[in-house]
Amino acid sequence: MLERLEIRDYAIVEKIEIEFDRGFTVFTGETGAGKSILVDALALALGERADAVVVRSGAERAEIVAEFSLEAVPEFNAWLADNDLEGDEGLCLLRRVVDASGRSRAYVNGRGVTLQQLREAGDYLVDIHGQHAHQSLLKSSVQREMLDAFAGAENLAKEVSRAYSAWMSLSHAVRQFEEGSAEMEAERDSLSWQVNELSRLDFSLEGWKETLNEQSRLSHAASLIEGANYALDALIESDDDCLSRLASIDSRLLSLEGFDPGIASIRPYIDAAQIQLGEAAHALKHYVERLDLDPQQLQFLDARIDAVHTISRKYRIRPEEIPGLLEKAKSRLVDLEQSGDIGKMREEEAKARKIYADLAEKLSRERRKAAETLSVGVTESMQQLSMKGGSFDVSLERTGGGDAHGFEKVEFLVSANPGMPPRPLSKVASGGELSRISLAIQVMASRAQKVPSLIFDEVDVGIGGGVAEIVGRLLAKLGKDRQVLCVTHLPQVAAQADWQFSVYKEGGRSRIELLDETGRIDEIARMLGGLEITDTSRRHAREMLSSCTDS
């Protein structure tokens, strides 16, 4: 149940804080005073979309806080626990903040939540019936949704929609395969050839590097042998080779040490050079022994390199990209081979169709039961709402194979006069009749729902007189076991309420006041007689309130 609503800087509201009680509560006041703004603000706290225009001019942000007691909604307590959003025991705070820039933030029990989570929380707590409900009721989609809500089958309807989408997706895949099987077969053949061709190449990055290195060595083998032999000749094999000359130099310096000992410090360098050149000569001999001219191996390597470059040019890639291309082709080929099992695809489609059909049939059963109950209830209410002899019926017309909404088309039919056959609501009811039928449906739907708080925003538009009094009684009766809040212009409805708030403008800002007995008499007198309150209108108001209390 809604216990408190706090609104700051929303539209023409600067600051309003209202505490609510059980039963039937009405909001009254002159047009433009801001009655429906209260409902709009609460809707914002329940997850409605908003933008910067809701922020009061000159303010930085709008803020709405709604406090609920939870003794009547155990399912919501479970939802809070599942989402780690528990607060004080038995209470829940919903808070919405909208900045002047349009940025919005939502909170449940002080924790930030998504807009979707806020809406889910609101669905457990409040059901709002808008002032234009009787107009939207002419839409077949609204009629279907209202019947599903009355049947408590909203989640089942969503399951049916999801199952239908899954079935259609598989059905489309089957049709696509059947229509494009030739193209898929051609692609599969092309990929098979490509995979075989690339696999035969037996290409690897490591092997490619080794091939390039060996080909480079063999193609320059003659030059390498010639150069290495020239170096050997210069080092050790010629008449005047380097090592012989170094030995001669070392011997000459040795003979001079007797004349100058300083020569001795130079000789180690000569000795080191002899050692280094000797090792170089030994390494060159070993290199020349291993180095050979193998024209057949070189021819093989040249052919290998040419084959790799031919493949690279064919597929317009670098040699290093060949392994990736092969893996991609293999993966695509696997996908095609798996998707190519048309028998399996048809089997999956048949399973999806059965799942949809089972769910849709279950939804049909729930709709039939709800349609019967709703038809009887609304017909009874029509008799009370000055539509004697009229009847209401929910038509469920089978639609063949079904669609995302199930097996049937839902349509509300009405007979406004005795003996007239039921016809679609949009073609029969006048404006006033439509308002009364809409209200009867909404009252019936509200009885079937479990939410603890119901809000009716000027749903009594288009009615008056004795019918208005009956509407007030219906809402008051609904308020016996549910909290009912109603924005109304009708004194006959307001007089039936347990609590009455007056909404008025002061200094360009909306104000609200809980009326005592005297205040209620004056306010209902105003509603009866206009701006000027007379003794006669007060007497009528007092009598109206008294008769409602007695009943």
Q: pTM of the entire structure? A: 0.61
Let me know whether 101 and 226 are in one domain: no
pLDDT for residue 234: 80
Residue 64 CA from chain centroid, whole number:
25
Let me know whether 202 and 323 are in one domain: yes
* Alpha-helical segments (H) within 137-241: 140-151, 154-179, 181-201, 205-219, 221-232
pLDDT in tens, 219-233: 676 677 677 777 877
Greatest C-alpha distance within the chain: 152
Highest mean pLDDT among 240-249, 278-287, 288-297, 308-317: 308-317
Let me know whether 111 and 3 are in one domain: yes
State how far the Cα of 513 lies from the Cα of 189, in Å rounded to an integer: 81
Report the first-to-last Cα separation within the chain, whole angstroms. 25
Q: Is residue 273 part of a domain?
A: yes
Closest CA to 550 of 495, 506, 513: 495
Let me know whether 102 and 232 are in one domain: no
State how far the Cα of 517 lies from the Cα of 163, in Å rounded to an integer: 57
Residue 384 has pLDDT above 90, yes or no: no
pLDDT in tens, 31-63: 878 888 888 899 999 998 888 889 998 899 999
**CATH classification of the domain holding 3:** 3.40.50.300
Q: Is residue 546 part of a domain?
A: no
Q: Which uninterrupted H or E stretch holds 354?
A: helix 342-384
What's the chain's Rg over C-alpha atoms?
46
Among candidate residues 338, 361, 385, the one where a domain is terminated: 338
**What average pLDDT does range 253-275 have in this prediction?**
83
Let me know whether 237 and 107 are in one domain: no
**What average pLDDT does range 114-138 have in this prediction?**
80
Residue 503 has pLDDT above 60, yes or no: yes
48 or 462: which leads in pLDDT = 48
Paired strand residues for 377? none
State how far the Cα of 300 lies from the Cα of 295, in Å rounded to an integer: 9
Let me know whether 190 and 328 are in one domain: yes
Closest CA to 198 of 314, 297, 299, 298: 314
- Spatial contact of 184 and 177, defined as CB atoms under 8 Å apart: yes
Q: Is residue 491 part of a domain?
A: no
Among candidate residues 304, 338, 372, the one where a domain is terminated: 338
pLDDT for residue 265: 84
Residue 484 has pLDDT above 70, yes or no: yes
pLDDT in tens, 68-104: 998 878 888 889 999 999 988 889 999 999 999 889 9
pLDDT for residue 428: 67
pLDDT for residue 144: 92
Q: Is residue 445 part of a domain?
A: no
Q: Is residue 466 part of a domain?
A: no
Question: What domain range includes position 257?
Answer: 186-338
211 or 464: which leads in pLDDT = 211
- Six-digit token string for 75: 């399912």
pLDDT for residue 260: 81
Q: Count CB-CB contacts under 10 A for residue 535.
A: 8
Phi-psi region of 392 (alpha: psi -120 to 50; beta: other; left: phi over 0): beta
- Spatial contact of 512 and 503, defined as CB atoms under 8 Å apart: yes
Residue 498 has pLDDT above 90, yes or no: yes
Residues written for the chain = 551
Let me know whether 330 and 194 are in one domain: yes
Q: Is 471 helix (H, G, I), strand (E, B) or coil?
A: helix
Residue 67 has pLDDT above 90, yes or no: yes
Paired strand residues for 403? 406
pLDDT in tens, 400-452: 889 999 999 999 998 877 878 888 887 765 666 777 777 777 777 777 667 88
Let me know whether 7 and 95 are in one domain: yes
pLDDT for residue 416: 76
Share of the chain above pLDDT 70, in %: 92
Let me know whether 105 and 30 are in one domain: yes
442 or 499: which leads in pLDDT = 499
Helix orientation angle between 295-315 and 322-339, rounded to the nearest 10 degrees: 50
pLDDT for residue 187: 79
Let me know whether 195 and 308 are in one domain: yes
Let me know whether 221 and 328 are in one domain: yes
Alpha-carbon dihedral 229, 231, 237, 242, rounded to 10 degrees: 180
- For the chain, the average pLDDT equals 85
Residue 113 has pLDDT above 90, yes or no: yes
Residue type at 311?
I
Q: Is residue 392 part of a domain?
A: no
pLDDT for residue 132: 56
Closest CA to 332 of 187, 180, 198, 183: 187
Q: Which uninterrupted H or E stretch holds 349?
A: helix 342-384
Among candidate residues 321, 338, 355, the one where a domain is terminated: 338
Q: Count CB-CB contacts under 10 A for residue 387.
A: 23
Question: Residue 250, CB half-sphere, CA atoms under 13 Å: how many?
Answer: 15
pLDDT for residue 339: 62
Q: Is residue 168 part of a domain?
A: no
Let me know whether 193 and 334 are in one domain: yes
**Number of domains making up the chain:** 2
Q: What is the 3-state secondary structure (H, E, C) of 228-274?
A: HHHHHHHHHHCCCCHHHHHHHHHHHHHHHCCCCHHHHHCHHHHHHHH
Dump strand ranges (E) for 267-425: 391-403, 406-415, 423-424
pLDDT in tens, 246-259: 888 888 888 888 78
Q: Is residue 354 part of a domain?
A: no
